[in-house]
Every structure is written in structure tokens, then in C-alpha cells.
Amino acid sequence: MGRDLSALFDPTSVAVVGASDDPAKYGHAVASQALRAPGRRPVHLVNRRGGTVLGRAAATGLADIGEPVDLVVIAVPGAGFETAVDDALACGARAIVGITAGFAETGPAGLARQQAIAARVREAGAVLVGPNCLGITDNTTELYLASDRFAPGGIALLSQSGNLALELQLRCAPHGLGFSRFVSLGNQADVTLVDLVEDAARHQPTRAIAVYAEDFGDGRAFAEAAAAAGKPVVLLTAGRGSASARSAQSHTGALTTSADVVAAACRDAGVELVATPREMAVVLAALDGGRRATGHRTAVCTDGGGHGAIAADAAESAGLCVPELGPADQDRLRTLLWAQSAVGNPVDLAGMGEQNPHSYGDTVGALLASDDIDSVLLTGYFGGYSAAKGGLGGPASDSGTMGGGNALAAGELETARQMVSHATATAKPLVVQSMFPEAPSCRTLVDGGIPVFAATEDAARALTAMTAARTAGPAGVCPLPPAAPPLRDSGYHGIRALLSAAGVPFPAAREITDEAGLRAAADEFPGPYVLKALHLLHKSDAGGVALGLPDREALVAAYREMAGRLGAASYSVEAMADPTDGVELIVGVNRDPRFGPVAMAGLGGVLTEALHDVAFSLAPVPAARGERLLTGLRTSALLRGVRGRPAVDVAAAAAAIERITEVAAAHPEIAELEVNPLLVRPDGVLALDARAVLA
């Protein structure tokens, strides 16, 4: 059960401290909005000069109101903020919205002030949004405490940017989307993004949660809350392209960026990650109706070959499949269309829509009914017949079998209603791209729950959001294991021992410091041998690894040469693994300051950084998810066997990923842990090298 935010979203009374008649002040905008629903709850305006504000008597302070106030909005200069908070708590406020800026965003001194204020609020049992925020709105309770209006609807918008929130409003409006709530996150001194996601998940009128965040705070907790929300969460964030803070003492550290971490957290949690406000509106429109495809097989329907080809390319680029229709489906379509129509997929009406707009609805209905199709994308001219002045002045102004432009327009409206009926009868998604998205027929589709987009790429992106079968599998963030006793030996053999105890297999090995120890090690297990110089960064690059030494004499010779050249304090003598039919992988874990341990798995060996074929997930990684990470690699064909090579044991590799990431997650003192290479063969896996970097 999350925090009780009822006083924040449905208070019994409200006071605006800093209310003003000056339109240039934020206290004016908030007070004006607060007075939109005076009958819902008492609204008190407070201005230290008293008098009237917006035609109402203003109290000079909260104490002058003479009764408790449930929620207080504070929009005063920074110097008076602490006093206003203390006054709010003294008058019984259970919730405070801090508009005032000048705290953590200004530096250490501001942060200290902010922390002290938040501590006082929590000690009083109240909650604080902000400071440095732009207010809140809850359309479901008629609570209007932000400077702008938000059209009512089912989206809870949690944003660190006011202007982006306004843009999202504008982009959502054509799709008929509105907002249940808006919360400006501000500095999150007390109420956090996680608190708000959890509360929005419990809020029945909210159907989807839209987030713009630059500072996640506890990113892992955000991912956990989003995974548990039970409703769509769509995230827009900035700054993902820069490299995260890291020690760069391993491949894992060198390859992991902020973008990788955020994307992995979103994939694990089932969050739709978007790059722009436009894409966010597209995804929200797609998810609003609740339809989900169970597979990636998409049918493209068009009345023009060009639009069909472009839409098919866009769908495939977005990760969908546009398969050729089977004989039964093609025969069915031939009974609906004329001879020159293409029925393979894309399905091209080839001008029949100009003669009979109902051909659109008939074709879409047949495609939605196909057992071999999971979703349908209609693209092109549809909408042009009912658009003002006959669309582009073409087909709708010509006479045809429907009796001219007016008849074509009427027919198009009828077929729009027909498509709504077809879509309502199935859970399969139907998405439309139209050159005329504002045409009456397209508005009919939108009103019927069918998303319509002006851009082909938007329609394809919408379908990917509506496709439930994802390569990453079911959403969920694995809980961190209990902390293990701190690691005492972070050297190479200490890490080997730690991972071996967890069930990760290694070849036989012994650490030595002189030639006598080397000869003793050679007596413990037969060759061929591997010799490694320890405590070197990237041993292979430094010439600190000798492979395939066939016998004792070759081992001794390699040791003498390496010791003379490198002078390492110690070395490792190991049994040489048989690389025949094997594939080298890398498995690493990097501890992110916001999201905790993040795992990486991919193609390993000495070319790891050059190939950069890796995938990420929050650690620990269950074996089933680890297997999906591996099979989703660009080079996954190597694991299945190519050019006569046998398939390797991916299940064993996935089990090793689970064990390695579990160890790293259980040791918070480990900043980076890496096994590279992890040799996976047809008969199992062997970890051939490992290293750790302590925090």
C-alpha cells in the first residue's frame, strides 16, 4: 500500500497563499484556476496585504481564515516559504503544493533548506509536492491548482516540465484524449514520482500514466511501481544519450550508457519508452482503447500502391511482420474486390475505393477476421471522400458508381461506421493512416476507438505499442536479493571462488607467484594450459595471456617470457577449455546510481567493444529473461548454429546469467562484475575469465 495522497487530490478545503490580482504573478494564475469550482470545496485566498483578490476578500495569513485548511498552495517569494509551510502545518494542512523556487536546483545550500522543510512536513504527517513545481490538477475531483486547464480524460500526466505538458495536451486533443490528473513534479522533496505512479495506479478514472522525468530519484523503485501499475505507463525522458558515471575498468563499464539503463528498465517493467511528445501522444492514443495484438503479423490495406509499400516498410522497420496472406484469405478477398486488386499483402484496392467506399470496410473486416493476421493498418486516401471540398479535388468530385462526390462522402461515412463495428467485434487492433485525419469519416473512427494518424510512421509505432507479444517477455522487475556478507577477496581467484560457489563452472586453475608454484600447478591437471598475468587491466591487450600451451615445458617457457616482460606479482595457471564449436559471450553487471545493478549480456571475447552486440536488463536476471536477451542479439544465429556448426546450449548460458547477476545484485559493494568470455558449447558453459571492481 502506497502513501495516502487523498488530501492532495481531493482535499476538503484549499488555500492559495500568495494569491494576487497581478496577472504576471503565478499566484494570480493558480488562484484563478482554483476558483473555477467554488461549489466543490471552500477556496481561501491569502495575500499578506489583505483586501480583495479576484473580487474576493483575501486573508492576510492562514491563521486569519479561522478554520482548518486541508491543502495549501504556496506561491510566495523564497524568503517567506519556510514561514508559509509552518503556518500551513499549524492550521492543520495535510497537503502542501510548493510553487516557490530557489531550493535544491540552486545548489547545496538550497538543498539543505529543502531537506529541512521536507522533514518538518513529514514529521507533521503531511505531504509536500515540490517545491519549484507548477501545481496540480485533478479533473475527477474538480481540483484546479495549476496555471492552465487540462481537458478531462483518462491520462494521469506526471511531468517535470510545464511546457511539455502543454504540448502534450495539444498533441493528444486530435485523438480525443484528455487528462484525469496533472502533477508538476518539481524537486520531489517529499512526494516522489514513485508515490504518484503508485497513486495513479490505484486511481480508477486513470486509464494510462504519462511521465516526463529528468530525475527519476530511485529509478528502480519507479520501474517496480510501473510494472505493478496494471495500466499502461508511457515515459518520455531526456539526457539518455550521455554516458553514465562509471569506472570504465571493464567492458561492462565502457559499454553501458544512461540510454541503455533506462531502456532496460522500461523493457523489464513493461513501460513504453518514447523519444518525443509526438511519439508519446501516438502511443497514448494507441493504448487508450485497450486492444492488444497477440502477435506481430500485420495486414496493410490501401487504395494506392505507393502508400501500401511505404506502410509495409514502416511496419517492418517498427518490428512488425507483413506476411503474404494464405490462399484462403486471398480467395476471400477476391470475392470482395475487383480483378486488378492486389490481395497478397499489402492489399491494394487499386482504385476500387473511388467507385465504392464500402470496399474499404469489407476488406478491413475480412482482414480482421483472418486467423493468420494479428492487426491491420489501413493507409492512404481514406478520409478524402468526406473531407471538405472533396479532399484533394480528385475522386470525390468525380462521378462514379456511387453517384458522385456527395454519394462517395456519404458512403465513406457509412464504411467508417462499418469499420468501427468490425473493430468492436474483435480484440485485434485496427490503426488508420490518412491524408485527411480531420475528415468526418476519420473523426467517426476516432470516436469509435480506432486511432487515426497523419503520418505512416506514427501508425506503425502505434501498432507496435498495441502488440502484446514482446521479445522481452512478461513485464516485471526481479527484487534484489538479501545483501550477502561483504566480499573479502576481490582478486581474480576470489571472484572465481565466489561465482563457483554460486554454480558458475570454471576450468581448473591455481594462482602462482613463482616457477616452483608453476610446476606444482602443472602436476595438478593435464595440459594444454593457459597462463594469465593477474592484476592487469585488459590482460589480452597487454600480452598477459598465453593460450594452448601443450605441456609443462611450453608452460614454463611462457612463464619466463611473460614474467621477464611484465613483472606481474602473480599468475594463474589454468586448464585450457576446448573452444571447438563454442561461442564466446560476455556477462556483466554495472551498478547504476539510480537503477541499481544493471546486467549486460552479449557476444564476448576480445572483440566485445568492437562488435557491441549486447543487451541489457535490471539485475538479477531470471534464466528465462536471460535466454530472451541472448536470442534477441543481432548475432543470435551463431547460437543456433551456422555453416555446419552445431547449436550451443543457450539454456545453460541463461542459467549462468542468472547466477552471475544474482551474485552481483547480492553484493552492493561490487560496482562492476564481469565474466568474459563465458564459453558456451553444445554441452554446457565454462567461465574463462572474471573480474570485479569494488565501489
Q: Which listed CATH number (3.40.980.10, 3.30.2310.20, 3.30.1490.20, 3.40.50.1360) goes with 508-575?
A: 3.30.1490.20
199-203, 339-343, 633-637, 642-646: least confidently modelled range = 642-646
Angular region, 689: left φ>0, alpha ψ -120 to 50, beta rest:
beta
Residue 611 burial by CB count (10 A; 0-12/13-18/19+): exposed, middle or buried?
A: middle
Residue 296 burial by CB count (10 A; 0-12/13-18/19+): exposed, middle or buried?
A: buried
* Architecture of the CATH domain 293-465: 3-Layer(aba) Sandwich (3.40)
Mean pLDDT of 626-650: 93
For 509, the enclosing helix (H) or strand (E) is strand 509-512
Fold for 1-148, please state it. Answer: Rossmann fold (3.40.50)
- Degrees (nearest 5) of the Cα angle 193, 11, 40? 125
Residue from 306, 324, 331 nearest 373 by CA: 324
The length of the chain in residues reads 695
Report residue 543 as a C-alpha cell.
600480452
411 pLDDT above the threshold of 50: yes
Equal CATH topology for 1-148 and 508-575: no
Mean pLDDT of 212-216: 87
Residues 587, 575: contact at Cβ < 8 Å? no
Res 161: pLDDT: 87
436 pLDDT above the threshold of 50: yes
Res 146: pLDDT: 95
Tell me phi and psi for residue 146, to 5 degrees. -130, 165
pLDDT band at 521 (very low <50, low <70, confident <90, very high): very high
Mean pLDDT of 355-368: 95
Return d(Cα 406, Cα 409) in angstroms, integer: 5
Return d(Cα 395, Cα 270) in angstroms, integer: 44
Taking only the tens place, the pLDDT of each residue in 73-110 is 999 999 999 999 999 999 999 999 999 999 999 999 99
Mean pLDDT of 627-643: 92
Res 541: pLDDT: 73
pLDDT band at 189 (very low <50, low <70, confident <90, very high): very high
Taking only the tens place, the pLDDT of each residue in 259-280 is 889 999 999 999 999 999 999 9
Res 396: pLDDT: 38
Mean pLDDT of 564-571: 90
CB under 8 Å to 265, separation ≥6 — which residues?
219, 220, 222, 223, 271, 477, 595, 598, 618
Taking only the tens place, the pLDDT of each residue in 315-352 is 999 999 999 999 999 999 999 999 999 999 999 999 99
398 pLDDT above the threshold of 50: no
Res 567: pLDDT: 86
Res 243: pLDDT: 43
Res 560: pLDDT: 94
Mean pLDDT of 117-144: 97
Res 38: pLDDT: 83
248 pLDDT above the threshold of 90: no
Mean pLDDT of 531-545: 82
470 pLDDT above the threshold of 90: no
pLDDT band at 394 (very low <50, low <70, confident <90, very high): very low
Taking only the tens place, the pLDDT of each residue in 51-72 is 999 999 999 999 999 999 999 9
Mean pLDDT of 453-464: 97
Res 611: pLDDT: 78
Order the strands of the 71-74 sheet from edge to edge: 43-46, 14-17, 71-74, 95-98, 127-129
Q: How far from the centroid of its chain's Cα atoms is residue 611's Cα?
A: 25
Res 649: pLDDT: 97
Share of the chain above pLDDT 70, in %: 93
| Number of helices (H), then strands (E), in the chain | 24, 29
537 pLDDT above the threshold of 90: no
Give the orientation angle of helix 405-424 with respect to helix 440-447, to 10 degrees: 10
More confident residue, 297 or 643: 297
Tell me whether strands 208-213 and 684-687 are parallel, antiparallel or unpaired: unpaired
- CATH class in words for 583-694: alpha beta
Q: How far from the centroid of its chain's Cα atoms is residue 230's Cα?
A: 15
Report residue 487 as a C-alpha cell.
566480499
606 pLDDT above the threshold of 80: no
Res 675: pLDDT: 96
Q: Which listed CATH number (1.10.287.70, 3.30.300.30, 3.40.50.261, 3.40.50.300) goes with 150-290?
A: 3.40.50.261
Please state the domain extents for the chain.
Answer: 1-148, 150-290, 293-465, 508-575, 583-694
User: Coil, strand, or helix at residue 71?
Assistant: strand
Q: What is the mean pLDDT of the chain?
A: 91
Res 473: pLDDT: 58
